A and B are shown apart, each in its own frame.
Chain A
Amino acid sequence: MHFCSKNKRPEEKSMLDAQLDLSPVLKIIEEKRHEKGSLIAILQQAQEIYGYLPLSVLKCIARELGIKPAKVYGIATFYTQFRLQPTGKYQIMLCQGTACHVNGSERIESTICQELKIKRGETTPDGLFSLESAACLGCCSLAPVMMINGQAYGPLSAEKAVAIIRKIKAAESLSLVGGEAQ
């Protein structure tokens, strides 16, 4: 299920949070409890399971490890890898490395933002797309580059980027219609 918790009221969000199954994260903690300095690794694995780090998971980790929730939260917000919000079904990673920047990645970003009506770091209300930036995806000779769910596209132009996104949108609305017809 994809939802954008940002648009939910706080009590609704905590409801969703409360329904979370915490057993997988408890299992990870059990495995790592005795390793020194394993907090980051625990957070990484937890994010892999849930797709992001829900507040209840952070609290659970703090409780189990016997450290203050503030510390866990501090670490989760220090590192950019950690997300406290769920991402869209299609995660757009637009490269903002130097090579992509000098080849016009910022213009592509503003065009994508205009197309999806979101800003960097946000998710569309329908939960379909989220836009994030990356520093060098490692294929600078294809600059400017974006990756959608791990698949790289490049060299991009603003039109190309929009065309790719529109194609996904079209495919999604088709499958939705198809699903309802069944």
Chain B
Amino acid sequence: MKVRLGLGSCGIAAGGLQVLEALQKEMESRGLKLEIQKSGCIGLCHHEPLLDWIEDDGQVFTYGAVNAGRSVEILEAHLAGRGPLEAYLVSSSDEPAEFLQQQLRIVLKNCGRIDPESIDDYRRQDGYSALQKALAGMSPEEVIKEIEVSALRGRGGAGFPTGLKWKATREAAGFYRYIICNADEGDPGAFMDRSILEGDPHAVLEGMIIAAYAIGAEQGIIYCRAEYPLAVKRLEIAIAQDRENGLLGRRILGSDFSFDISIQQGAGAFVCGEETALIASLEGERGMPRLKPPYPSESGLWGYPSSINNVETLANVPWIIRNGGEAFAALGSRESKGTKVFALAGKIKRGGLVEVPMGTTLREIIYGIGGGVKAGRRIKAVQMGGPSGGCIPAELLDIPVDYQSLNNTGAIMGSGGMVVLDESSCMVDLARFFLDFTQKESCGKCVQCRIGTKRMLEILERICRGAGREGDIELLEELSAHISENSLCGLGQSAPNPVLTTIRYFRDEYEAHIREKRCPAKQCQELLKYTIDPDRCMGCGLCVYACPADCIKGGENNQPYYIEQENCSKCGACLDICPERFAAVRVPGT
């Protein structure tokens, strides 16, 4: 038997390391020698910190919301034969959590199950058998063919067929070639790539080595976001292990193919996820996109043919080579093959990492896997594709996730961010949020993108402030058309999407802000004024304790309380805490 701890970023954030420490101490004091395996993210992020108890026969019991004290309780129960401890159990091999049941895991197969810092663990899961198969029995052309048959499309956002990209890179003129893994994951609300890198780095490396073999690259670079120190650390360990084991370096596995990988850390610029900007950044310049063509497959890093592939795209490759392109193409829908990983977050009951076959409906993901929105709330929309994507309203939840169906809604598949919104989310505010993001991240090369997004942001800001004017919606639409038409790169071209989709599906919310100076979701702070109704206030004083600004005064001799407006930061804490039977705190509209 052994213990396994989820120590991905969110596991650590939730207190995983304290659990580890407590367990180690407890075992030491008992003189117990039990293996504690450290793993990455299994995706049950809403139950973090997670602890698995694994019996010798392979039975797994997964415990959630574990802390130092509980981990010791669990240990005691199992050691005394009283396990499993039902109180904290969230999943087990006999009865997997609903969250995991409805998923199909190819990319995430090993995440949270193996120790990402152990190459032996990865090997036990068929790791590097695909590389062996490719090097021993397939020509580079055959590898590319297999990927073409699988119909794998890039998972970084644009959905370009991977086989075609590799072929173009292989066939381009040049005596040196690069394979670049795009691990810049810029969508602010998505963490698929990070979890893969943290939970199963060898899978990405194996995919990358196979890709290098297919296109004829001698050098690979992983461009990783600087905010992902744990991912970088685990990649470094994995690369070192590969070198020791003859999987990287000269004459890999005895073949005459030589290849090595280095890591370069990004420096915090969303636009550097765009492939030509990424190349500029690798060359030590400002990350500014350039005109395509020539495509990187013809002229990429230092002018050499380069294939740029997303983390998840590469992590699919070993599976495809092991099981064949046809097996992969049998999964998913007609146009979109295989699976897709989503980072499910927002106002969802069970958030985390989700991998489903393409063609699964949004409803199945949000309700079946995610358990719907939090108690008593109604789902309003789901945001997909981050700043380049859009909002899909609740009425359309029955559409399947495939590239075409999502594009039809005005949103995009994107890289996999899926943020669920309920009626407490203001759609105008959300559009403003994304425009604020793109406006700051615009590299400044194109006038329309640099200034157009700024003007759009100003309009959205004034609408949220209650200073919107008649005609603002039309102005936004007009600017959107200019920006998407006249921008060089995807950032500018897709920047208006969050605005256009919210206007398309939630025009009434824009109108309420503009005409009635009202925010139906009660989010736009400047349209809100918190007051305490003196007739309803019972003087319980709960709000006084809750108020972080110390601006609730009065209350002497059972008098009602009142709010000093000048200091109120409009945090809403008083509204939340005021007992329902009094309902004395008021905001416009309640």
Residues of A that sit less than 8 Å from B by CB: 36-41, 43-44, 74-75, 78-82, 96-104, 106-108, 110-111, 114-115, 134-143, 145, 147, 152, 154, 157-159, 161-162
- Supplied contacts A111-B548, A142-B13, A152-B14, 10 more A-B pairs, CB within 8 Å: A40-B284, A79-B287, A98-B188, A99-B346, A99-B351, A114-B567, A138-B194, A139-B48, A152-B12, A158-B548
A137 to B229, CA, bound (A): 11
Q: Do A140 and B421 form a contact, CB below 8 Å, given A78-B269, A80-B268, A96-B188?
A: no
B111 to chain A minimum Cβ distance, whole angstroms, is 14
- Looking at chain A's contact residues, the main secondary structure is helix
Asked if B343 and A114 sit within 8 Å, CB to CB, the answer is: no
| Interface contact B570-A98, CB-CB below 8 Å | no
Interface centre among A75, A96, A135 (most CB of B within 10 A): A135
Are A98 and B548 in contact, with the CB atoms below 8 A?
A: no
- Distance, CA A78 to CA B444, complexed state (A): 10
The residues of B that contact A138 with a CB separation of less than 8 Å are 9-10, 13, 191, 194-195, 227-228
Please name all residues of chain B whose beta carbon is closer than 8 Å to the beta carbon of A43 when the two chains form the complex. 267
B417 touches A98 (CB 8 A): yes
Q: Are the CB atoms of A97 and B267 closer together than 8 Å?
A: no
Asked whether A110 lies within 8 Å of B433 as measured between CB atoms, the reply is no
A139 near B525: Cβ-Cβ < 8 Å = no
Task: Chain B residues near A75: list those with CB within 8 A.
Answer: 284-286
Chain A residues with Cβ below 8 Å from B190 are: 136
User: A39 contacts which chain B residues (CB < 8 A)?
Assistant: 284
Contact A139 B13 (CB under 8 A): yes
Kindly provide the distance from the CB of B467 to the nearest chain A CB, expressed in whole angstroms: 18
Chain A CB within 10 Å — which of B269, B346, B417 has the most?
Answer: B346
Task: Report which of A80, A98, A135, A159 forms a contact with B345, defined as CB distance below 8 A.
Answer: A98
Closest to B272 in A: A79
Contact B267 A82 (CB under 8 A): yes
Interface membership of chain B positions 281-307, coded 1 if the CB is closer than 8 angstroms to chain A and 0 otherwise: 111111100000000000000100000
Contacts of A137 in B (CB 8 A): 9, 13, 227
Whether A102 pairs with B425 at a CB distance below 8 angstroms is yes
**B572 and A37 contacting across the interface, CB-CB below 8 Å:** no
Complex-state Cα separation, A24 to B500, whole angstroms: 51
Complex interface bits, B263-285 against A, C-beta within 8 A gives 1, otherwise 0 = 01111111000000000011111
Contacts of A152 in B (CB 8 A): 12-14
Query: Would you call A79 and B346 a contact (CB within 8 A)?
Result: no
Cβ 8 A contact of B352, one of A106, A114, A141 = A141
Say yes or no: B13 contacts A99, CB within 8 Å. no
Cβ contacts A to B, 28 pairs, < 8 Å: A40-B267, A43-B267, A78-B443, A81-B226, A82-B267, A97-B188, A101-B433, A107-B525, A111-B569, A111-B571, A114-B567, A134-B227, A136-B190, A136-B191, A137-B227, A138-B9, A138-B13, A139-B14, A139-B45, A139-B48, A140-B45, A141-B48, A152-B12, A154-B13, A158-B569, A159-B547, A159-B573, A162-B548
Residue of B14, B227, B285, B386 near A98 (CB, 8 A) is: B386
Q: Is the CB of B569 within 8 A of A114?
A: yes
Judge whether B38 is part of the interface by a CB distance below 8 angstroms.
no
Chain B residues with CB under 8 Å of A140's CB are 10, 45, 189, 191, 343, 345-346, 351
- Name the contact of B268 in the complex, choosing from A79, A96, A154, A158 (C-beta under 8 A): A79
1/0 per residue, CB under 8 A from A, across B360-403: the answer is 00000000000000000000000100100000000000000000
Which chain B residue shows the least CB distance to A161? B548
Interface residues of B in 322-353 (CB under 8 A from A): 343, 345-347, 351-352
Cβ-defined partner of B284 (8 Å) among A38, A106, A139? A38
Q: Which residues of A contact B165 (CB under 8 A)?
A: none
Q: Does B549 belong to the interface (CB within 8 Å)?
A: yes
Bound-complex Cα distance A93 to B281 (A): 25
A-side contacts of B302, CB under 8 Å:
36
Complex Cα–Cα for A44 and B267 (A) = 8
Give the distance in Å from the alpha carbon of A80 to the alpha carbon of B266 in the complex: 10
Which of the residues A74, A82, A110 comes within 8 Å of B571, measured between beta carbons? A110
Please judge, given known A-B contacts A110-B525, A111-B571, A115-B548, whether A141 and B45 are in contact too, CB under 8 Å. Answer: yes
| Interface residue B419 (Cβ < 8 Å from any Cβ of A) | yes
CA separation between A140 and B569, bound complex, in Å?
Answer: 24
What is the CA–CA distance of A18 and B85 in the complex, to the nearest angstrom?
63
A93–chain B nearest beta-carbon distance, Å: 9
Contact A110 B281 (CB under 8 A): no
Closest Cβ of chain A to B192, distance in Å, is 10
B186-233 contacts to A (CB < 8 Å): 186-191, 194-195, 226-228
User: Does B54 reach chain A (CB closer than 8 Å)?
Assistant: no
Complex Cα distance A114/B547, Å?
13
Task: Report how far A147 CA is from B265 CA in the complex, Å.
Answer: 21
Q: Is B259 interfacial (CB-CB < 8 Å)?
A: no
Contact with A along B426-455 (1 / 0, CB 8 A): 000010010001000001000000000000
Cα of A179 to Cα of B265 in the assembled complex, Å:
40
- Nearest first, the 9 closest Cβ-Cβ pairs linking A and B are A98-B189, A135-B188, A152-B13, A37-B284, A79-B267, A140-B345, A139-B10, A99-B345, A81-B268
CB of B46 within 8 Å of the partner chain? yes
Q: Is B546 an interface residue (CB 8 A)?
A: yes
- Whether A141 contacts B227 by the Cβ 8 Å rule is no
| Nearest B residue to A163, CB-CB | B548
The minimal Cβ–Cβ distance linking A77 to chain B, given in whole angstroms, is 9
Give complex CA distance A81, B286 in Å. Answer: 13
Q: In the complex, which residue of chain B has the Cβ closest to the Cβ of A38? A: B284
The one of B264, B548, B549 that contacts A41, using a Cβ cutoff of 8 Å: B264
| Cross-chain contact A78 with B287 (CB below 8 angstroms) | yes
Q: Which residues of A contact B270 (CB under 8 A)?
A: 135
Q: Are A110 and B46 in contact (CB under 8 A)?
A: no
Question: Is there an interface contact between B188 and A108, defined as CB atoms closer than 8 Å?
Answer: no
Q: Give the complex CA separation of A106 and B186 in angstroms.
A: 20
Interface centre among B264, B267, B270, B570 (most CB of A within 10 A): B267
**Considering residues B9, B186, B188, B286, which has the most beta carbons from chain A within 10 angstroms of its beta carbon?**
B188
* B346:A102 contact, CB within 8 angstroms: yes
Q: In the assembled complex, how far is the CB of residue A67 from the closest CB belonging to chain B, in whole angstroms?
A: 10
Q: CB-CB < 8 A to A157: which residues of B?
A: 571, 573
Contact call B14/A142, Cβ cutoff below 8 A:
yes
Residues of A within 8 A of B281 (CB): 40
Determine whether the beta carbon of B13 is less than 8 Å from that of A136. Answer: no
Q: Are A107 and B264 in contact (CB under 8 A)?
A: no
Residues of chain A within 8 A (CB-CB) of B189 are 97-101, 135-136, 140
Bound-state Cα–Cα, A100 to B13, Å? 15
Whether A44 and B286, one on each chain, are in contact in the complex, defined by CB atoms closer than 8 angstroms, is no
Assembly CA distance A136 to B387 (angstroms)? 13
A48: min CB distance to chain B, Å:
11
Least Cβ–Cβ distance between A97 and chain B, in angstroms: 4
B549 touches A111 (CB 8 A): yes
A7 to chain B, nearest CB (A): 25
Inter-chain contacts of A141 with B (CB < 8 A): 10, 45-46, 48, 345, 351-352
Choose among A37, A98, A107 the residue that contacts B569 (Cβ–Cβ < 8 A).
A107
